Amino acid sequence: DGGITQSPKYLFRKEGQNVTLSCEQNLNHDAMYWYRQDPGQGLRLIYYSQIVNDFQKGDIAEGYSVSREKKESFPLTVTSAQKNPTAFYLCASSSQAVQETQYFGPGTRLLVL
Amino acid sequence: DQQVKQNSPSLSVQEGRISILNCDYTNSMFDYFLWYKKYPAEGPTFLISISSIKDKNEDGRFTVFLNKSAKHLSLHIVPSQPGDSAVYFCAASGTSYDKVIFGPGTSLSVIP
Give the CA diameter of chain A. 42
Task: Look at A30-44, A46-60, B73-87 and tell me which has the smallest mean pLDDT.
Answer: A30-44
Whether B76 and B47 have beta carbons less than 8 Å apart is answered as no
CB–CB contact B91 A100 (8 Å)? yes
Residues from chain B that touch A101, judged by Cβ atoms under 8 A, are 34, 46, 49
Q: Tell me phi and psi for residue A75, to 5 degrees.
A: -75, 145
pLDDT for B72 = 97
Residues from chain B that touch A35, judged by Cβ atoms under 8 A, are 102
Cα separation, A39 vs A91, in Å, equals 17
Number of Cβ pairs < 8 A linking chain A and chain B: 55
Whether B86 and B108 have beta carbons less than 8 Å apart is answered as yes
Interface test with A, best of B100, B101, B107 (most A CBs within 10 A): B100
Q: How far is A105 from chain B (nearest CA, A)?
A: 5
CA angle centred on A83, ends A80 and A86, rounded to 5°: 100
Which tens digits make up the pLDDT trace of B16-36? 999 999 999 999 989 999 999
Residue A7 Cα to chain centre, angstroms: 11
Q: How far is B29 from chain A (nearest CA, A)?
A: 15
pLDDT, average across residues B39-52: 92
pLDDT for A100 = 73
pLDDT, average across residues A68-91: 94
Class of residue A28 by CB neighbours under 10 A (exposed 0-12, middle 13-18, buried 19+): exposed
Query: Residue type at A59?
Result: D
3-state secondary structure of B53: coil
Instruction: Assign 3-class secondary structure to chain A.
Output: CCCEEEECCEEEECCCCCEEEEEEECCCCCEEEEEEECCCCCEEEEEEEEECCEEEECCCCCCEEECCCECCECCEEECCCCCCCCEEEEEEEECCCCCCCCEECCCEEEEEC
Task: Look at A22-31, A33-42, A103-112 and tell me which has the smallest mean pLDDT.
Answer: A33-42
Burial B58-81 (b: 16+ CB within 10 A, else e): eeeebbbbbeeeebebbbbbeebe
Q: Would the pLDDT of A88 be above 90?
A: yes
